[in-house]
Amino acid sequence: MRIITCDKKITDGTMHRILQHLETDIPILLLSKVDELDFNEEVLLLEGKKFVVIDVIEEGWNVEIKESLILGRNKLHNLKGEGWIRLDAFLAKNKPYLYFKRELLAKDVTENIIPIEYPSITPLLPAQTREEFNNRPISVFHYWGRSHEARLIQHGLFWVNAARKGYAVCDNVYYFNNFMAEEQNSNKWVSFNIPHWARIDISELLKINGISKLGLSLPGCGIKCFRTTEIINNSVIIMPEDELAYSYPLVHGKNCLRFPINSVDGVSREWDVINPIEAALKRDDLYDIYLAGLEAAKWYQVDNYLKWIESLINKA
């Protein structure tokens, strides 16, 4: 199986590494966002051949998606430059027989235009009992990088509302162990800003997620992010409503919790996450949502997920 990237040098490294494990003879054209696409001439080798597109393009943190960006339809949205025009023209003449799209609106799903996410590469842990889950010491966990300003705003609101309502906050990963040992407040909220130049191993972060009732997931440069499939491994995900399609649906009140988007100006989206989190912590079905989330997490495990992609490609 051959993976061809749309740009000569730049690609989505995570998805590229995952796709290398696919067992199929059909070539994959991997699309990822670059500001100025340096068109990869190897794309032209796909002319007249069967191939599959896997599109993980993010349209930006401050963009409202009203129409799915499907390359080959001559609607480039905010993609600019000769490289993107060439790629769009190529795909208009050479239709892939499957087009997997990360930021795909539910209304735009067809038989051969299919949603895709980043699968989870961390192993699942056994489900806890109801008593174990209810006794988790952390109310909500938020780990984030600054790819969307709403994340920054919510981090600040954790502290603002801690002053107003009396719960405890830890916002430094290096304080965490002492916070858990010394802080007597039973209502603990944790929010870690982890920039790309100070990464913490995801397995360590998911250990904290696994002792939290809720895991907060906010959009980054796109609506879907890694947390979408990470948090459900061992906690209840709480996330904004969206209009995207998912390969395994995440449904409010069933296997996740969602809160409405109340944007200030259609762009800044200073959502109210505090009230939804507080309401979620009072629910009597939180444990049931956790268990249903684990079923979704099984689907998104990387080995299972690759088998699903393979089955669709080989079936088609």
- CA atoms of 189 and 17, how far apart (whole Å): 34
Give the least confident one: 50-54, 122-126, 240-244.
Answer: 122-126
Rounded to whole angstroms, how far apart are CA atoms 15 and 30? 8
Confidence at 3, pLDDT banded by 50, 70, 90: very high
Q: Residue 172 pLDDT > 50, yes or no?
A: yes
Q: Give every CB contact of residue 141 below 8 A, 6+ residues apart in sequence.
A: 190, 191, 208, 209, 212, 214, 215, 216, 235
* Structure token digits, residue 7: 């740009």
Residue range 78-104: average pLDDT? 96
CA dihedral 211, 212, 218, 221 (to 10 degrees): -10
Provide, rounded to the nearest whole percent, the portion of the chain with pLDDT above 70. Answer: 97
Give the pairing of strands 188-193 and 138-144.
parallel
Q: Which fold has domain 130-300?
A: Rossmann fold (3.40.50)
- Per-residue pLDDT, 10: 95
Q: What pLDDT, on the 0 to 100 scale, is given for residue 266?
A: 45
Q: Please state, in angstroms and rounded to a whole number, the distance separating the CA atoms of residues 5 and 288.
A: 42
Whether the pLDDT of residue 211 is over 80: the answer is yes
Domain boundaries for CATH 3.40.50 within the chain:
130-300
| 239 alpha-carbon distance from chain centroid | 10
Residue 115 exposed, middle or buried by CB count within 10 Å (0-12, 13-18, 19+): buried
pLDDT range class, residue 118, cuts 50, 70, 90:
very high
- pLDDT for 164 beyond 50: yes
Q: Name the pLDDT band for 1 (thresholds 50, 70, 90).
A: low
Residue 260 has pLDDT above 90, yes or no: no
pLDDT in tens, 223-248: 998 999 999 999 999 999 999 999 99
Stretch (H or E) spanning 188: strand 188-193
Dihedral angle over CA of 88, 106, 2, 51, nearest 10: -60
Helices (H), the chain: 13-19, 82-93, 130-134, 149-165, 176-182, 202-209, 227-230, 274-281, 286-299, 302-315
Tens-digit pLDDT profile for residues 180-210: 999 999 999 999 998 888 888 888 999 999 9
pLDDT of residue 269: 54
pLDDT in the model for residue 112: 95
Q: What is the pLDDT, as a whole number, of residue 62?
A: 76
pLDDT of residue 280: 97
